[in-house]
C-alpha cells in the first residue's frame, strides 16, 4: 500500500525556526520530524511513499533522496502553492491507485501507531487520539465507531478527541476534492466532514505515540520523547577521562575531549568537537558539525547542526537553530513563562531561550527565559535580552 | 570513453542491460546497443542516439547478454559503429571500452584472411580475432586475442548457446558484481547496484569468466587468482535524480553534505597521508579541466597556509614537457580517476622520480594504481557532466592538506588551527544558506541568457574561480565566456567590452579589494553590465547592476561559496536557454582519451 505524506507547508506557528526550512525538517533527536514518520512507515512495511513538497522543497529532496537509504521508495509531487491539505493531496491523483494512507509529515509517530491503524482500519478511516487542548486541532465527535462530526479548531469543543490527520482513503476521494475545491474548500478536514454524509467514516482511536509541535517550545517535549530508547553507540573518538552515563549516541568523526561528562539520553551528531570539560545533560540533541567549548553545559535542549557555543556557557531547555554562533560566557536559564500566542497566552512550565538560524551572539550575553531571537540577528557582547528579537535585528 | 555492462543469470536480460546502461550514460551517450544470447545465434540491437532510443519490446527473452553505451573515439557516432559487434559467423558478440592502438595493422591482417568489417571502429577487430583463433574454448581464445593487443581495453564477449561471459581488462575500468544465481560485469558500480553491492575489481591483464553460478579470474600470466571482494556503500540515491530536474542541480544541492562528508574524521586528526615521510619543500599540482581550476586554487591555499612554493600544470602539457632536476611532491587531481592525460602525467611524474599523491572521487579508479598515496574526496557519485560537488570537495581536501603541511613545517601555529577548523566546519551551513538564493540568482541570469560573450574577473585566490565560472558557462550554456585576472583586462581584453558583454566580477574583502573596485569602475565606464559576487559592500553595490552577496567568511575560504553562486548562474542560464544540462553536446563525464 502506498502512503502519501503531506510535507509542503511551512508551519508558520513554529517561526522563526521555519524561516528557511519547512516544519517537517526541524530535527528532534537529530532527525527531521519527517524522518521519524518515514521510519515508522518503513518499520510497518509501508515503503512506497509519495511526498507532497512545496515550501523549501530542496531541503526535503536533498535529505531523503529517493529513500533508498531508509529502505523506502520515495516519489515527489510538488504543490506549487500551499493553499490547503486537500489541495496538496489532490496533486497526487495521477500516480495513486486503489487504497492508500495519508499522513501529515510534521507529527511524531511510532511504528505501533501505524501498525495499529493498519490493522483496525476498514473502508474510509481516520486515526483519532485524545488531547488536552482539542481546540488547536480538528475536533472529532464519534457515534458507534463512526465519525459524526469533524470541526477544525472550534472555539468551544464538545470532545477531547482530535484528528491526527492520518487517513485511509482511496482514489474515489479525488473527484470529491475536485468538486469541493470548486467551492473554495481546500482542507482535508472539511473534505472528510463532507465525505461522512455519503459513506461511513470509521474513527480509530489510539493511545500510541502521536505528538505535534504547535509552537517552538513544544519541540523540547518531542525531542525528549524521541530520545527514549535511542541506545548507546559511538562512531566517534572518545578521549581519556570522558564519563558517559545512560543512553548516549555519538556520530562518526565526532571527537569528545578529555574531562567531558555526558548523561543520556543524549545524541551528538557527526563531525562535532565537544569539550574538553564540557557537560552534556539529559534530553539533549546536538546536530552535525557543532563545537561545544570547554566548561559549557547544555541540558534538555536542541542544538541544531553547525552551531558553535563558546566556553563557560550555560544552555538550558533551549532550542538553538542551525549555524548559530555563540561567544563565551553565554547564559540562558530556564523558568516557567507565560508565552504569548496568537489568541492570548500559553503557560510553559520550563523554557530557556529559542534562537533561530545563523544568529551571531557575542560574549557575555544573557537571554531571559522564553525569549525568542529571530534568524540572522547580531547580538553584540554583554547584552541582556529580555524581549523577543525580530529577524535580522542588531542589538547593541 | 564508453560504458559496458554484461549480465548472466535469470531471464529478462534485456531489461537488466538497459537499466544498467542508463546508469552508465554519464560515460558516453552517442550510441548504444545490446546483444542477447539465443540458442541459435545472438540477437543484436544497436543505434546511434541515446539509450532511450533502443526498443526494449523487440529484445527477445534470454539469460545472458552484453550492452554498451558509446562515446565515439575511432569512427563517428552511427548505427554501424555502435557496439556490440558480431563478426562474420554471428557466433560471438563483443563490447569494448578503450582504445586499441595497433588496430589498423590487425585489421589489415584480418581482411587479408577474408574477414569482412561492418564498422570503422577499433573495437570490431576483437570479435574477428576471436573468430580467427577460436578452437572450441572462448576463454582460451580470449587469452590468445589479448596477446595481440596494444592499448587499453575492457572487453566482454559472449557466445551463441552459452551462459558464459568472458571478460578482459587493461587500463580501462571493469568491475564484477557478485549476485545470487546471477553475476554481472560493468564499467562502473551504478550499473551493478540494482543487483548486488558486492564487487571485485579486476586488475590490468586479468581475464575472467562469469556464469550465473561462478566467477573465475586469471592474471596476465594465466594463473588463477582471487581478487578481493569489496562491499560498496553507495546506494541508489546516488544514481538517481530524486525530485530534481537535473543531476547537476541535485548535485549542486548535495554540496553541504559532500563538504561535511569530506571533512568527516579528518578535521581534528588528519591521517590519510603522513606528509612527514615525504619531501614537500616544493609541490606541483597537475590536472585537467575543472580539476585544474581546483589545482590553481590549491596553489593559493598551500602557499598561504604552508608557505610552500607550488607550481601547477595541465596534465596534457606536463606529460610532454622536458624533465628537470627538481623532483617536487606531485599532486594529481582527477574526479573520475580515469582521466587519460592525468594518469599518464602520474606515470611521467613517477618516471621523473617524484613522489605522487592522487586526489580522486572514485574508489580504486585507475589513477589510484599509479601513485604513492591517495586521498578520496567523498563527494559520492557525480552524474552530471559538469563537475560541481567534486570540485568543491577537491578544494576541501586541498584545505586539509595545506593545514597539515602548515602544521608540519610550523608555518601554521597550533593555536590558529582551531579557527580554521571552525571555519571549515561551518562551510556546509554557509553553502546551505547560499543555495536559498537560487531564485534570486536565476532572475539575475536574465542578463546573461542573450549574451554572446561574457567575462569573469577576479583576483588572487578567486582568479581561478573566475576561470571555473567561465568554463561552467561554456560547457552547459554554450555561451562563449572567458575568465581573467582583473588586472589583466586592460592588457587587451578591454577592447572587447561593450554594453553587450556582461562582466561577472568576484570581489571579496581581501588585500585586493580596493584594486578590484578600481577595475570594476573602469569596466562600468565601458557600459558593460556588471554582476558582482562576493562580500557585502555599499560602494560595490553602487557600481554593480546586480550583486550576489555570499555569507561572510575569511577570504581564504571564499572560493567555495563564490563557486556555488557561479554554478547556479551557469545552471539557470543554461536552463533558460533550453540546453541539455546533464549531457552537454560534445562532452563526456570522464575524458579517457588523450
- Omega of the bond leading into A321 within 30 degrees of 0 (cis): no
pLDDT-derived band at B240, boundaries 50, 70, 90: low
Residues of chain A with CATH 2.160.10.10: 227-395
Checking DSSP bridges between strand A335-341 and strand A279-280, what pairing results, if any?
unpaired
Question: Is residue A121 less than 8 Å (CB to CB) from chain B?
Answer: no
Whether B282 and B164 share a structural domain = no
Residues of chain A with CATH 3.90.550.10: 2-214
- Percentages helix, strand, coil for chain A (3-state, rounded to 5) are 20, 35, 45
**pLDDT exceeds 50 at position B390:** yes
The number of angstroms, rounded, from the C-alpha of B509 to the middle of its chain's C-alpha atoms is 33
Whether B17 and B154 share a structural domain = yes
Distance CA B84, CA A212 (A): 58
Q: What percent of chain A has pLDDT over 90?
A: 81
- Omega of the bond leading into B376 within 30 degrees of 0 (cis): no
Q: Alpha-carbon dihedral of residues A100, A101, A106, A112, nearest 10 degrees?
A: -140
pLDDT digits (tens, 9 = 90+) for B490-510: 888 888 888 999 999 999 999
Q: How far is CA A343 from CA A136, A152, A346, B386, in A?
A: 11, 16, 9, 52
Residue of B nearest to A308 (CA): B422
> Which pLDDT does position A52 carry in this prediction?
97
Whether B282 and B158 share a structural domain = no
> Which pLDDT does position B455 carry in this prediction?
96
- Comparing CA positions, the residue from B460, B468, B426 lying closest to residue B552 is B426
Q: Alpha-carbon dihedral of residues B30, B35, B36, B38, nearest 10 degrees?
A: 150
Tell me if B589 is assigned to some domain. no
> Which pLDDT does position B239 carry in this prediction?
45
Question: Which residue in the set B256, B436, B551 is minimally distant from A20, CB to CB?
Answer: B436
Whether B293 and B425 share a structural domain = yes
> Which pLDDT does position B1 carry in this prediction?
63
Q: What percent of chain A has pLDDT over 70?
A: 100
**Mean pLDDT score, A137-161:** 86
Does B267 sit within 8 Å of A271, measured CB to CB?
yes
Tell me whether residue B52 is one of the annotated catalytic residues: no
Whether B245 and B351 share a structural domain = yes
> Which pLDDT does position B232 carry in this prediction?
78
Rounded to the nearest 10 degrees, the angle between the axes of helix A57-64 and helix A33-43 is: 40
**Mean pLDDT score, B440-467:** 95
Whether B276 and B404 share a structural domain = yes
CA distance B239 to chain A (A): 10
Whether B210 and B221 share a structural domain = yes
> Which pLDDT does position B74 carry in this prediction?
65
Tell me if B573 is assigned to some domain. yes
Tell me if B144 is assigned to some domain. yes
Task: Identify the top-confidence range among A318-332, A336-350, B483-497.
Answer: A318-332
pLDDT-derived band at B52, boundaries 50, 70, 90: confident
- Tell me how many domains chain B contains: 3
CA distance B338 to chain A (A): 27
**Contacts with B233 (C-beta within 8 Å, 6 or more apart), sequence order:** B197
**pLDDT exceeds 50 at position A22:** yes
Tell me if B92 is assigned to some domain. yes
pLDDT digits (tens, 9 = 90+) for B129-169: 999 999 989 999 999 999 999 888 999 999 999 999 999 99
- Comparing CA positions, the residue from A86, A104, A91 lying closest to residue A41 is A104
Range of the domain at B274: 241-436
Residues of B with Cβ-Cβ distance to A73 under 8 angstroms:
none
CATH number, domain with residue B552: 3.40.50.10490
Tell me if B586 is assigned to some domain. no
Whether B85 and B169 share a structural domain = yes
Whether B322 and B357 share a structural domain = yes
Question: Is residue A129 less than 8 Å (CB to CB) from chain B?
Answer: no
Of the residues B2, B310, B354, B579, only one is catalytic, namely B2
Whether B186 and B280 share a structural domain = no
Residues of A with Cβ-Cβ distance to B432 under 8 angstroms:
322-323
Tell me if B464 is assigned to some domain. yes
pLDDT digits (tens, 9 = 90+) for B372-385: 999 999 898 888 88
Q: What percent of chain B has pLDDT over 70?
A: 97
Average pLDDT across chain B, whole number: 91
* A294, A282 contact by CB (below 8 A): no
**Mean pLDDT score, A355-373:** 96
Instruction: Classify residue A271 as left (phi > 0), alpha (psi -120 to 50) or beta.
Output: left
Q: What percent of chain B has pLDDT over 90?
A: 71
CA distance B419 to chain A (A): 11
Question: Which residue in the set A69, A306, A358 is minimally distant from B237, CB to CB?
Answer: A69
CATH number of A227-395: 2.160.10.10
What ipTM did this prediction achieve? Answer: 0.89
CATH number, domain with residue B106: 3.60.20.10
| Among A residues 344-383, those touching chain B with beta carbons less than 8 Å apart | 357-358
Query: pTM of the full predicted structure?
Result: 0.80
Last residue of a domain, one of B381, B405, B436: B436
Alpha-carbon Rg for chain B, nearest whole angstrom, is: 25
Question: Which residue in the set A66, A252, A289 is minimally distant from B240, CB to CB?
Answer: A66
- Omega of the bond leading into A276 within 30 degrees of 0 (cis): yes
> Which pLDDT does position B237 carry in this prediction?
43
Checking DSSP bridges between strand B224-225 and strand A233-234, what pairing results, if any?
unpaired
Does A271 sit within 8 Å of B263, measured CB to CB?
yes
Whether B22 and B168 share a structural domain = yes
**pLDDT exceeds 60 at position B171:** yes
pLDDT digits (tens, 9 = 90+) for B554-575: 999 999 999 999 999 999 999 9
pLDDT digits (tens, 9 = 90+) for A169-213: 999 999 999 999 999 999 999 999 898 888 899 999 999 999 999
> Which pLDDT does position B236 carry in this prediction?
47
Residue of A nearest to B427 (CA): A306
Residue of B nearest to A291 (CA): B422
Instruction: Classify residue B262 as left (phi > 0), alpha (psi -120 to 50) or beta.
Output: alpha
Question: Which residue in the set A56, A58, A271 is minimally distant from B264, CB to CB?
Answer: A271
**pLDDT exceeds 80 at position B247:** yes
pLDDT digits (tens, 9 = 90+) for A89-99: 999 998 898 99
DSSP class of B262: H
Distance CA B552, CA B548 (A): 12
Residues of B with Cβ-Cβ distance to A20 under 8 angstroms:
433, 436
> Which pLDDT does position B324 carry in this prediction?
87
pLDDT digits (tens, 9 = 90+) for A235-279: 999 999 999 999 999 999 999 999 999 998 999 999 999 999 999
Tell me if B352 is assigned to some domain. yes
Does B237 sit within 8 Å of A289, measured CB to CB?
no
Tell me if B534 is assigned to some domain. yes
* B170, B9 contact by CB (below 8 A): no
pLDDT-derived band at B238, boundaries 50, 70, 90: very low
The count of other CB atoms within 10 Å of the CB of residue B19 is: 17
**pLDDT exceeds 80 at position B58:** yes
Whether B15 and B94 share a structural domain = yes
**Mean pLDDT score, B416-427:** 93
* B169, B154 contact by CB (below 8 A): yes
Tell me whether residue B310 is one of the annotated catalytic residues: no
CATH superfamily of A2-214: Spore Coat Polysaccharide Biosynthesis Protein SpsA; Chain A (3.90.550.10)
Amino acid at each position: 500500500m502506498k502512503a502519501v505524506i503531506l510535507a509542503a507547508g511551512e508551519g508558520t506557528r513554529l517561526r522563526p525556526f521555519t524561516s528557511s526550512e519547512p516544519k517537517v525538517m526541524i530535527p528532534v533527536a537529530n532527525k527531521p520530524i519527517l524522518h521519524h514518520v518515514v521510519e515508522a512507515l518503513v518499520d510497518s512495511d509501508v515503503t512506497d511513499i509519495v511526498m507532497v513538497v512545496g515550501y523549501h522543497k530542496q531541503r526535503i529532496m536533498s535529505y531523503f533522496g529517493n529513500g533508498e537509504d531508509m529502505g523506502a521508495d520515495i516519489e515527489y509531487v510538488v504543490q506549487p502553492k500551499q493553499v490547503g491539505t486537500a489541495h496538496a493531496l489532490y496533486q497526487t491523483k495521477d500516480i495513486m491507485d486503489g487504497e492508500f494512507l495519508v499522513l501529515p509529515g510534521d507529527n511524531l509517530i511510532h511504528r505501533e501507531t501505524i501498525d495499529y491503524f493498519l490493522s483496525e482500519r476498514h473502508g474510509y478511516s481516520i486515526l483519532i487520539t485524545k488531547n488536552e487542548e482539542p481546540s488547536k486541532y480538528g475536533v472529532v465527535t464519534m457515534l458507534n465507531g463512526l465519525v459524526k462530526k469533524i470541526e477544525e479548531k472550534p472555539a468551544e469543543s464538545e470532545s477531547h478527541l482530535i484528528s491526527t490527520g492520518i487517513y485511509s482513503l482511496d482514489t474515489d476521494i479525488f473527484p470529491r476534492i475536485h468538486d469541493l475545491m470548486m467551492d473554495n474548500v481546500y482542507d482535508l478536514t472539511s473534505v472528510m466532514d463532507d465525505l461522512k454524509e455519503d459513506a461511513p467514516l470509521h474513527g480509530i482511536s489510539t493511545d500510541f505515540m502521536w505528538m505535534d509541535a504547535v509552537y517552538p517550545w513544544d519541540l523540547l517535549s518531542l525531542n525528549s520523547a524521541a530520545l527514549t530508547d535511542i541506545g548507546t553507540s559511538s562512531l566517534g573518538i572518545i578521549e581519556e577521562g570522558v564519563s558517559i552515563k545512560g543512553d548516549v549516541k555519538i556520530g562518526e568523526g565526532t571527537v569528545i575531549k578529555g574531562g567531558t561528562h555526558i548523561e543520556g539520553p543524549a545524541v551528538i551528531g557527526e563531525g562535532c568537537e565537544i569539550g574538553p570539560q564540557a557537560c552534556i545533560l539529559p534530553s539533549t540533541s546536538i546536530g552535525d558539525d557543532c563545537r561545544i567549548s570547554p566548561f559549557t553545559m547544555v541540558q534538555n535542549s536542541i542544538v541544531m547542526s553547525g552551531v558553535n557555543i563558546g566556553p563557560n556557557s550555560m544552555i538550558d531547555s533551549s532550542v538553538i537553530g542551525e549555524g548559530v554562533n555563540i561567544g563565551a560566557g553565554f547564559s540562558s536559564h530556564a523558568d516557567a513563562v507565560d508565552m504569548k500566542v496568537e489568541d492570548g497566552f500559553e503557560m510553559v512550565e520550563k523554557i530557556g531561550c529559542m534562537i533561530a538560524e545563523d544568529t551571531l551572539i557575542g560574549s557575555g550575553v544573557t537571554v531571559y527565559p522564553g525569549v525568542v531571537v529571530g534568524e540572522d540577528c547580531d547580538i553584540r557582547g554583554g547584552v541582556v535580552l529580555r524581549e523577543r528579537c525580530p529577524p535580522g535585528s542588531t542589538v547593541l | 570513453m564508453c560504458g559496458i555492462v554484461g549480465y548472466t543469470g535469470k531471464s529478462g536480460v534485456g531489461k537488466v542491460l538497459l537499466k544498467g546502461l542508463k546508469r552508465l550514460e554519464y560515460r558516453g551517450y552517442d550510441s548504444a546497443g545490446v546483444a542477447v544470447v539465443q540458442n541459435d545465434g545472438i540477437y543484436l540491437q544497436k543505434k546511434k542516439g541515446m539509450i532511450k532510443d533502443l526498443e526494449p519490446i523487440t529484445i527477445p527473452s534470454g539469460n545472458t547478454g552484453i550492452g554498451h553505451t558509446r562515446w565515439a573515439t575511432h569512427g563517428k557516432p552511427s548505427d554501424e559503429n555502435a557496439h556490440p559487434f558480431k563478426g562474420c559467423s554471428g557466433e560471438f558478440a563483443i563490447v569494448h571500452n578503450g582504445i586499441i592502438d595497433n588496430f589498423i595493422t590487425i585489421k589489415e591482417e584480418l581482411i587479408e584472411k577474408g574477414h569482412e568489417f561492418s564498422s570503422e571502429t577499433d573495437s570490431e577487430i576483437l570479435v574477428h580475432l576471436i573468430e580467427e583463433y577460436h578452437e572450441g574454448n572462448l576463454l582460451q581464445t580470449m587469452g590468445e586475442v589479448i596477446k595481440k593487443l596494444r592499448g587499453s581495453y575492457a572487453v566482454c564477449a559472449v557466445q551463441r548457446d552459452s551462459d558464459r561471459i568472458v571478460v578482459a581488462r587493461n587500463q580501462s575500468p571493469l568491475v564484477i558484481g557478485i549476485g545470487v544465481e546471477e553475476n554481472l560485469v560493468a564499467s562502473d558500480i551504478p550499473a551493478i547496484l540494482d543487483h548486488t553491492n558486492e564487487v571485485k575489481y579486476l586488475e590490468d591483464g586479468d581475464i575472467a569468466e562469469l556464469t550465473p553460478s561462478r566467477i573465475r579470474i586469471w592474471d596476465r600470466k594465466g594463473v588463477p587468482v582471487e581478487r578481493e571482494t569489496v562491499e560498496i556503500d553507495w546506494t541508489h540515491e546516488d544514481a538517481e535524480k530524486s525530485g530534481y530536474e537535473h543531476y547537476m542541480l541535485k548535485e549542486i544541492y548535495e554540496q553541504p553534505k559532500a563538504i561535511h562528508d569530506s571533512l568527516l574524521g579528518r578535521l581534528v586528526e588528519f591521517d590519510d597521508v603522513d606528509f612527514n615521510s615525504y619531501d614537500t619543500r616544493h609541490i606541483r599540482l597537475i590536472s585537467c579541466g575543472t580539476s585544474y581550476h581546483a589545482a590553481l586554487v590549491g596553489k593559493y591555499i598551500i602557499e598561504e597556509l604552508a608557505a610552500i612554493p607550488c607550481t601547477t600544470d595541465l596534465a596534457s602539457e606536463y606529460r610532454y614537457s622536458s624533465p628537470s632536476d627538481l623532483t617536487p611532491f606531485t599532486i594529481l587531481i582527477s574526479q573520475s580517476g580515469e582521466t587519460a592525460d592525468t594518469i599518464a602525467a602520474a606515470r611521467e611524474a613517477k618516471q621523473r622520480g617524484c613522489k605522487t599523491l592522487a586526489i580522486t572521487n572514485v574508489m580504486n579508479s585507475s589513477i589510484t594504481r599509479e601513485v604513492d598515496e591517495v586521498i578520496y574526496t567523498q563527494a559520492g557519485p557525480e552524474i552530471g557532466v559538469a563537475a560541481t560537488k567534486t570540485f568543491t570537495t577537491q578544494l576541501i581536501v586541498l584545505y586539509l592538506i595545506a593545514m597539515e603541511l602548515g602544521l608540519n613545517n610550523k608555518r601554521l601555529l597550533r593555536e590558529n588551527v582551531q579557527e580554521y577548523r571552525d571555519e571549515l566546519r561551518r562551510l556546509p551551513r554557509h553553502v546551505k544558506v547560499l543555495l536559498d538564493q537560487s531564485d534570486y540568482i536565476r532572475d539575475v541570469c536574465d542578463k546573461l541568457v542573450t549574451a554572446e560573450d561574457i567575462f569573469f574577473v577576479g583576483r588572487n585566490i578567486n582568479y581561478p574561480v573566475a576561470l571555473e565560472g567561465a568554463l561552467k558557462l561554456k560547457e552547459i550554456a554554450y555561451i562563449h565566456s572567458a575568465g581573467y585576472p582583473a588586472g589583466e583586462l586592460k592588457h587587451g581584453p578591454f577592447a572587447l567590452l561593450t554594453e553587450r558583454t556582461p562582466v561577472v566580477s568576484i570581489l571579496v574583502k581581501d588585500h585586493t579589494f580596493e584594486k578590484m573596485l578600481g577595475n570594476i569602475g573602469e569596466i562600468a565606464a565601458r557600459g558593460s553590465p556588471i554582476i558582482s559576487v562576493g562580500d557585502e559592500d555599499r560602494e560595490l553595490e553602487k557600481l554593480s547592476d546586480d550583486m550576489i552577496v555570499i555569507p561572510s567568511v575569511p577570504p581564504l575560504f571564499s572560493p567555495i561559496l563564490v563557486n556555488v553562486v557561479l554554478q547556479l548562474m551557469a545552471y539557470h542560464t543554461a536552463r533558460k536557454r533550453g540546453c541539455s544540462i546533464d549531457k552537454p553536446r560534445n562532452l563526456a563525464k570522464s575524458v579517457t582519451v588523450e
